[in-house]
Amino acid sequence: MKNLIEVTGIEVFAYHGCMDEEGRLGGKYIIDIILSTDFSKSAETDELIDTIDYVAVRNIVVEEMAIRSKLIEHVANRILVRFKSEFPTLITASVKVRKQSPPIQGLVKEVAVIIEG
């Protein structure tokens, strides 16, 4: 069986970007995660060990976001790789990283990347 777990709206202050100012000043990021897994066992047992722990999902995101990168594409990929290595029941995942108020000339609310795998 294929089920979905969503952990959305994870807010992080991080220091990603190609410009030196972004590395010094930082910015707000919002990360949305969708995990495809089979949680039919945990639905029956009511045991956390039988599913993907939402706290672990958030912790991985926070840890990877704390490592400075020039590109949010790179950060999103690192998050995906960690999920694949740490969640044996994971079938596929979608990681969306949104950068709030990017330093682009003119008004831009956010830019985002989505990686799936």
Residue with tokens 């990681």: 95
Task: Return the SS3 of 18.
Answer: coil
Q: How many CB atoms lie under 10 A from the CB of residue 46? A: 8
Task: Return the SS3 of 92.
Answer: strand
Q: Is the pTM of this model over 0.85?
A: yes
Q: Is the pLDDT of residue 89 over 90?
A: yes
> Are the beta carbons of 93 and 35 closer than 8 angstroms?
yes
CA distance 4 to 92: 9
Q: pLDDT tens digit string along 35-88?
A: 999 999 999 999 999 999 999 999 999 999 999 999 999 999 999 999 999 999
pLDDT, greater one: 106 or 112: 112
Q: Is the pLDDT of residue 21 over 90?
A: no
Q: How many CB atoms lie under 10 A from the CB of residue 45? A: 11
Element (H, E) at 98: strand 90-100
Q: What pairs with residue 90 in β-bridges?
A: 37
- Give all domains of the chain, ordered by start, each with its CATH number: 3-116 (3.30.1130.10)
